[in-house]
Homo-oligomer: A and B are copies of this chain.
Amino acid sequence: MSGGEKITVVKIGGNVIDNEAALDRFVRDFAQLPSPKVLIHGGGKLATRLAEQLEIPTTMVEGRRVTDEATLDVVTMVYAGLVNKRIVAKLQAQGCNALGFSGADGNMIPARRRNPEPIDYGFVGDISSSEINTTLLDTLLTSGITPVFCAITHDAKGTLLNSNADSVASAVAVASATIAPTNLVFCFEKQGVLRDVEDEGSVIGLITRADYPALRSEGVISKGMIPKIDNAFYAIESGVESVSIKHSEEVANPQAGTTIRNE
């Protein structure tokens, strides 16, 4: 890419995808962001609902879902098909030249199937930012394309894999930081990392590496927020300029939400 431009990588979470009004608003705001930019989307509850309708049993191991073959088909249909194409069509209608991707497309995100020992999670793929196809990413961004990724990847041997959308976002941001300075924004249905989960006004504006252990031991950062913050620190330590966590309605507001800094 020709120099000077910054790349914005945005992850939009599943709860926003389940709410059409919220998704439409987010899409309008995202379409207005300056290019070059990249969108990564989660799945939402559509896949769970479809699996239920198809009577595909859900197997949980240590609180995490196992992706068997039938489940892989469901998430491929919902994430790479329905959700990805709906978002792409909505962005196109807003004048944003979106192009949808699974990790198999253009070999953009090769993944490694997770070791089945000690726990076999099935068709789950772990990714490494160093394996992302930055040449193609650069070509697309230079052509004015906005890539839109779901979290379906592949093992490059013919098998699709289910990956974590936050991890895809971090890895894509790290890869994009080798092309141009990159900001990573995690958007979801809350105002940021909250000191009190019941109080949307209690946003923690800044989290540094030094703050993190105390926030975890106090239980302020727990459950699903832990991998998000881990991904954020990984991204910053790997060359991403800034990471923020904010409400989907604030995607265009640089002051909003929680900023993660490595100091």
Count identical subunits in the complex: 2
What B residues does A1 contact at CB under 8 A? none
CB distance from A68 to the nearest CB of B (A): 15
Choose from B53, B101, B159 the contact partner of A54 (Cβ within 8 Å): B53
Compute how far the CA of A82 lies from the CA of B50 in the bound complex, rounded to whole angstroms. Answer: 14
Interface size on A, residues (CB 8 A): 40
Are B73 and A82 interface neighbours, CB within 8 A?
yes
Whether B157 contacts A86 by the Cβ 8 Å rule is: no
A77-B82 contact in complex given A106-B145, A139-B139, A143-B136, C-beta closer than 8 Å? yes
Of all A-B residue pairs in the complex, the 4 with the closest CB atoms, nearest first, are A81-B81, A93-B158, A77-B77, A77-B81
17 pairs, CB–CB < 8 Å, chain A vs chain B? A54-B54, A76-B82, A77-B78, A79-B81, A80-B81, A80-B84, A81-B84, A86-B160, A88-B102, A88-B104, A89-B159, A92-B154, A93-B158, A98-B106, A99-B101, A99-B106, A106-B145
